[in-house]
């Protein structure tokens, strides 16, 4: 094995893990000797709870720590104590340092993905040489269990489009008659999937940059980084560190590394990846594909990678129209990436088409809310960074843009510069609208910008005494957008920012938008998403 990949053939190697103790190195199946292992689980959210529950079942001595002493966390703590957790420590003071486990130093920390490496407990563990895994790393270690099938993993990351691609991948696998499920960052904790009594043949695993940061030994059948753009710099500390986390999705891949032909950075990641001998590099493009690529010919999605005659022909997979009513370019790219993953797993072309037809997208991603009076209303609340918002904006010609929120330290200058020509007006959300407002002033000075005069907080009561300030804010935004929009315009909620300053989640923000739009008139329609 060697390092690097090129074209349709590649070779790579993975050195033994030297960062862990001999005992941890031997923990590679469910049936390994986990008994008595002293583990601190950082976080009691969905993934942390699942990790703690799994480790208790394996026989480890588990201490769970979370800074939040909420009623919900107390209830989870009670459950974990009942099933056998050694201790559950709630409160900020407990998260400030690495606790002992049954009076002895911890052998291992398993962290929730949201915990930053600089968090005091994790920083102390790293300084003390205590290995740190994420829940995905733990899931990989216990995936093999006597008496149950061991699922193949198809891993998906990227700044945007992960959830859609994971859903499409799952749908294609199911259409082929495989027992498969989407897991990971998509919503279902991966350890819950691993512990399913029947087991699965395939897992479509969505991986965030946080999860990849804490994963060390995953060796998937096929992998993809859909795209990369500046995001989560506040968590990783730099864009370079974020890129490195994303690139690690390709490490130890066995059959195919899938990359975005239209973004050189992803191809470079594949070229530098340490992979298993014989692993192929397969590109996807929304243009005409070359050999060993997936792409588009006229209005068809085609495969020139996983057919014997790929040098002079292509296999038809599906038509673009089968993806839905509104089919932006990035949705086509997501479908091609999913098709490449499943084709690498031996899934027939007919199942790709059937999977696309059967795919039911979630809300908040290029969701058509209403199309009446010549104005199209689109909810893309999941566009939580400039890269996602750019893809969304590029799908429409004349846009009243509802945007803003928690910026996460990113710049909006390139986004505004690229799309200034299509902006009819902008309605700004966010407790601190200055970053986006400044970019608009610099690069689109002639575009009207509406800013709520008083309501800039999700706390307390809203304008006019509203008990639901988030709903009141969105009602104002929708009313303002309706005032500005004319026949032929699209009102697009694509915030380019996180939601937590004024809403509980991107879903809460999107639901508020949908409710406000529908309160104005008809129920509209729902289309597929990006």
For domain 149-358, the CATH architecture is: 3-Layer(aba) Sandwich (3.40)
160 in a known ligand binding site: yes
Q: What is the pTM of this model?
A: 0.80
164 in a known ligand binding site: yes
What is the chain's alpha carbon radius of gyration, rounded to the nearest angstrom? Answer: 24
Give the model's confidence band at 251: pLDDT under 50 very low, under 70 low, under 90 confident, else very high: very high
The residue with greater pLDDT, 14 or 66, is 66
Residue 371: what are its φ and ψ, rounded to 5°? -140, 80
Cβ-proximal residues to 90 (8 Å cutoff; 6+ apart), any chain: 44, 65, 66, 67, 68, 69, 73, 74, 77
Name the average pLDDT for the chain.
90
Give the model's confidence band at 232: pLDDT under 50 very low, under 70 low, under 90 confident, else very high: low
For residues 499 and 384, the answer to whether their CB atoms sit within 8 Å is yes
Specify the residue for token string 């769970």: 64
- The superfamily in CATH containing domain 367-519 is Mur ligase, C-terminal domain (3.90.190.20)
pLDDT value for 466: 55
Evaluate if residue 462 carries a pLDDT over 50: no
Give the model's confidence band at 18: pLDDT under 50 very low, under 70 low, under 90 confident, else very high: very low
Give the model's confidence band at 423: pLDDT under 50 very low, under 70 low, under 90 confident, else very high: very high
For residues 95 and 88, the answer to whether their CB atoms sit within 8 Å is no
pLDDT value for 395: 86
161 in a known ligand binding site: yes
pLDDT digits (tens, 9 = 90+) for 322-344: 998 778 888 999 999 999 999 99
Evaluate if residue 522 carries a pLDDT over 60: no
384 in a known ligand binding site: no
For residues 276 and 221, the answer to whether their CB atoms sit within 8 Å is no
Evaluate if residue 7 carries a pLDDT over 50: no
Evaluate if residue 294 carries a pLDDT over 50: yes
pLDDT value for 467: 62
For residues 136 and 215, the answer to whether their CB atoms sit within 8 Å is yes
Evaluate if residue 15 carries a pLDDT over 50: no
454 in a known ligand binding site: no
- Give the DSSP letter string of 146-168: TTSPPPEEEEEE-SS-HHHHHHH
The structure tokens listed for 402 are 């509802």
Give the model's confidence band at 268: pLDDT under 50 very low, under 70 low, under 90 confident, else very high: very high
Cβ-proximal residues to 350 (8 Å cutoff; 6+ apart), any chain: none
Q: Do domains 30-137 and 149-358 have the same CATH topology?
A: no
237 in a known ligand binding site: no
Alpha-carbon distance 215 to 207, whole Å? 10
Flag the least confident range among 154-163, 279-288, 331-340, 419-428.
154-163
Alpha-carbon distance 31 to 37, whole Å? 14
For residues 276 and 250, the answer to whether their CB atoms sit within 8 Å is no
Q: Which helix (H) or strand (E) holds 257?
A: strand 256-260
Q: Does domain 30-137 have CATH number 3.40.50.720?
A: yes
159 in a known ligand binding site: yes
Evaluate if residue 6 carries a pLDDT over 80: no
Residue 316: what are its φ and ψ, rounded to 5°? -70, 135
Exposed/middle/buried for residue 167 (C-beta within 10 Å: 0-12, 13-18, 19+):
buried
Alpha-carbon distance 528 to 297, whole Å? 22
The residue with greater pLDDT, 75 or 455, is 75
pLDDT value for 465: 46
Name the residue ranges covered by the structural domains of the chain.
30-137, 149-358, 367-519
Inter-axis angle of helices 71-83 and 46-58, nearest 10: 10
Question: What mean pLDDT comes out for the span 516-527?
Answer: 64
């Amino acid at each position: 094995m060697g390092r690097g990949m090129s074209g349709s053939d590649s070779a790579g190697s993975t050195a033994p893990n030297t960062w862990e103790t001999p005992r941890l190195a031997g923990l590679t199946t469910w049936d390994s000797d986990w008994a008595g292992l002293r583990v601190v689980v950082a976080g009691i959210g969905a993934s942390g709870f699942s990790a703690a529950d799994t480790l208790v079942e394996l026989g480890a001595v588990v201490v769970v720590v979370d800074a939040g002493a909420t009623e919900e966390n107390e209830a989870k703590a009670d459950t974990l104590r009942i099933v056998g957790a050694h201790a559950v420590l709630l409160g900020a003071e407990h998260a400030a340092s690495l606790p002992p486990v049954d009076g002895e130093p911890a052998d291992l920390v398993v962290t929730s993905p949201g915990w930053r490496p600089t968090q005091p407990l994790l920083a102390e563990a790293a300084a003390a040489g205590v290995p740190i895994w994420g829940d995905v790393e733990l899931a990989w270690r216990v995936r093999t269990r006597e008496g149950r099938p061991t699922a193949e993993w198809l891993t998906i990351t990227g700044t945007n489009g992960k959830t859609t691609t994971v859903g499409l991948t799952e749908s294609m696998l199911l259409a082929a008659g495989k027992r498969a499920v989407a897991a990971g960052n998509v919503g279902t904790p991966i350890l819950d999937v691993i512990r399913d009594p029947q087991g699965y043949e395939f897992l479509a695993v969505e991986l965030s940059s946080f999860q990849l940061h804490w994963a060390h030994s995953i060796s998937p059948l096929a992998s993809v980084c859909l795209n990369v753009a500046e995001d989560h710099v506040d968590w990783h500390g730099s864009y370079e560190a974020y890129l490195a986390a994303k690139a690690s999705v390709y490490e130890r891949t066995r059959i195919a590394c899938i990359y975005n032909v239209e973004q050189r950075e992803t191809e470079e990641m594949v070229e530098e990846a340490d992979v298993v001998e014989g692993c192929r590099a397969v590109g996807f493009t929304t243009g005409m594909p070359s050999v060993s690529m997936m792409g588009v010919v006229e209005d068809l999605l085609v495969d020139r990678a996983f057919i014997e005659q790929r040098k002079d022909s292509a296999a038809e997979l599906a038509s673009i129209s089968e993806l839905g009513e509104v089919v932006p370019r990035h949705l086509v790219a997501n479908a091609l990436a999913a098709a490449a993953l499943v084709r690498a797993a031996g899934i027939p072309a007919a199942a790709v088409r059937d999977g696309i037809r059967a795919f039911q997208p979630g809300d908040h991603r290029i969701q058509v809310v209403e199309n009446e009076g010549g104005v199209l209303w689109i909810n893309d609340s999941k566009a939580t960074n400039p890269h996602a918002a750019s893809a969304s904006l590029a799908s429409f010609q004349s846009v009243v843009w509802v945007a803003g929120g928690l910026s996460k330290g990113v710049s909006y200058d390139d986004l505004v510069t690229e799309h200034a020509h299509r902006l009819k007006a902008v309605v700004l959300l966010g407790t601190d609208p200055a970053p986006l407002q400044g970019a608009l002033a610099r690069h689109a000075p002639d575009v009207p910008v509406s800013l709520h005069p008083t309501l800039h907080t999700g706390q307390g009561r809203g304008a006019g005494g509203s008990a639901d300030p988030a709903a009141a804010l969105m009602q104002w935004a929708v009313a303002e957008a309706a005032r500005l929009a004319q026949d032929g315009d699209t009102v697009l909620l694509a915030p380019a920012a996180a939601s937590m300053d004024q809403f509980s989640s991107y879903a809460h923000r999107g639901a508020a938008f949908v409710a406000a739009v529908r309160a104005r008139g008809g129920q509209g329609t729902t289309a597929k998403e990006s």
